[in-house]
Structure formats: structure tokens, C-alpha cells
Amino acid sequence: MVNFKNSIPALPAVSVKKAVDFYQSKMGFVARHQEESFAILVRGSVEIHLWQACDKSWKYRSLALFLRPIWSGAETFIAGTASCRVEVIGIDVLYLEYKAQGVLHSEHSVVEEQYWGHRDLATLDLYGNLITFYEVVN
């Protein structure tokens, strides 16, 4: 029998250093490990990994794209296309914190009641990856 225990989102960033600075200064995470192309961020018991999407070669292949398709998996345009959901307790406090930091999905973002029993708060990281924090309604 297999027992799944945890999941760690891995989000793309063009510059891991800049992304780590953002997560630490704006989102309250702390870097547990950091190198040029990879970082581990933690807040409470949540861990988020960042990996560097740094391949810019796609910019120079536009005319012959059908002959040499983009395929490295680390193209810079991938940053901002990922998303994840993170469970929290105290979502209203987190809303006030992130509103003050300017990291909500939009200026009109609020904590939204979902029919499936969650209260959601959508945020964006430095590169536009969507992180939705949610609290389970009892």
C-alpha cells in the first residue's frame, strides 16, 4: 500500500536570487537553501522550491521554430505560468499582510468563499506564478 504524505510545489523563476528576495521581503518566507539555479523557501510547515527558467535561446529561433522546436523545459517564458495551492490557518490575517505588501492577485482581490468549503486568497509572486492560499471552513 502506498501512503502519500506531502507535496512541494516547484515554481519557475527567471532569477532565483530576485525571486528569493521577493519571497522573503514580501511574502514572509525564509530561504532554507539557496544557490544560483535553485532555492528552498519555508514558512511554517510549508515549503516551496524555486528553479531557474533561464533558457533564452528561444528568442533567436523564431524563424526556424518548426525545424528546431523549443524543448529545453527551462525557457524564460515559463516563469509566470505555474500555480499551486497552500493551506493555511488565519487567512484573514494573511490577507491583511499581503494587501499591505502588494502581492494580491489584483487590487480587487478579497478572501473568497468557495462552495467546496474553502476560503481562497489569490496572490502572485515576482514572476506572476499564482499562489492561492486557502483555509478549510469547518
pLDDT tens column, 29-44: 999 999 999 999 999 9
Domain that holds residue 40: 10-136
pLDDT tens column, 43-98: 999 999 999 987 666 555 555 555 555 555 556 667 888 999 999 999 999 999 99
Residue type, 138: N
pLDDT tens column, 6-30: 899 999 999 999 999 999 999 999 9
- Closest listed residue to residue 128, CA positions, set 94, 103, 100: 103
Residue 105: inside a domain, yes or no?
A: yes
Number of domains in the chain: 1
Predicted confidence band at 106 (pLDDT cuts at 50, 70, 90)?
Answer: confident
Strands 30-35 vs 10-13: parallel, antiparallel or unpaired: unpaired
* CATH number of the domain enclosing 41: 3.10.180.10
Residue 131: inside a domain, yes or no?
A: yes
Q: Looking at residue 53, what is its pLDDT?
A: 86
Residue 134, SS3 per DSSP: strand
CA–CA separation, 95 vs 121, rounded Å?
Answer: 7
Residue 3: inside a domain, yes or no?
A: no
Residue 74: inside a domain, yes or no?
A: yes
Residue 2: inside a domain, yes or no?
A: no
pTM: 0.84
CA–CA separation, 42 vs 28, rounded Å?
Answer: 9
